[in-house]
Structure 1
């Protein structure tokens, strides 16, 4: 079985395994304040162009999301997000379990516009209920979105301007950040991301690491006591150096972007393969998540050899399916899938 159902189905880049083996007998202090974590922080600060940034290493994406969001929100506030947002659809109500509501905005392609966010905040404060409804306390987006689509730099700048105007923080979920940055449809750098939000995270689990995410906080207002919240929300790893070592390796010799570019090369090849055989896409193919529309018969045939995910029915004979390339996708696997189309 060749798997195209996600980008976290393999282990990690070989340099990480080698580094973990070579440091296995080291004795270091725990909880993310060891020399490896400190070096990884320095490498990330350099990569994002923000020497003033706080960098924290957490065990996974859901922990990163709820830790960041709950550290910001007051108990009567909620997080503004697209209806397709990961915190709304694919985290088992983790944010709601912490006592906060997702304030959703309809989106056809997974993105939020500055105008939509501005209108939602305006409507809250100018409605008849006001304090009888959940107050918008943070704006959550992901880059790329849950549907594999991208924000342009102008769109992000406009969105952040609206957030600043309304005194509400912007948080970017970067679980697949490397793939967004490596896309030929992208016009932003890591520095642009860091300068147009209050906090974001750099995904490791889906981009070359065994596990782990690096939360980057650029706004001083949200830095104080963040480690308390990491611990309380279950995101702090006792053997914290395991995270530091991984991000050391990812941010040495441009490896994070190298593996991201490989993934996107495979995604582009697969996109062209679908298109050349006449298949259309439900959403624009901009990163490593592809959503072709396939006849049921063809999907059944492909499922004998490949793993992929049903995403919604178009009509009685066609469905949307998700195919995902990863940092380890082999060219011959893509060739075989294209051959079967």
Structure 2
């Protein structure tokens, strides 16, 4: 049995005894249509269960209300949290979010952006793109664009991100003050200008050196989390502090340590970065740097609206991070405590 054909504007026009152009005007709520004709068209649309093609309407009106959201993935809980916050902020403003998953390859990210531009989006929010300045400028000159969790970019795009260096310094100092030594940074050495990984690693190195301890840094581009943790344990034994690039890496560290240290926060200190919703689960209780996801989403949608309205100068919006302390980093005998903003104590 064949599926029922979707009614078209031609079908509506035939039933309403008018032209397809008149139906199109009614769909766009054009005031030039006579009330009697409008009534016939609306009745025909209701009888046929006609639903306008919003993409076609957007292209015709040059005002789509579509906002593209490009993510490199959704397995990272932070990206899922941020995407949900962006969706909510868009809908509060009457915007329609379209989400695309690009993966971490340059070409696939560019394809995602081009497809959304061709669909007529009014703006793009791009999260942690694996793109250089030339690629970003090409996108930003085609459509209003905001980069999220990216620390630099061409003048054609706006930037919204956390102060990554400060956040990493806060996590490093916290581990050292709680008696974990040495402290090792588990992150990524990605050759992408503006990538948060580089800023977090610089923050870790600066704070470790300020404290007079030899920093240990592991590039997860060249090894796995499991191999990195086991190697550090063999070389240094218990008491290591693991300063992780994000919550996802921290969760993997906790998994590797589970057999060796069931109470991971006592024998080893672990900090994440993102304060994703899963970090606060009682079974996880992960100390993490809060990027203020809601504020990032608010700023991104606000700046995108300004770009759509015609602003051309670049805005770089930086959110101050806070450290949320939980069981994963508390030293022996130290009770669990709540959120503690430490940025003011940094030198």
TM-score (normalised: structure 2): 0.34
- Which structure exhibits the higher relative contact order, with contacts defined as CA atoms closer than 8 Å and separated by 6 or more residues? 1
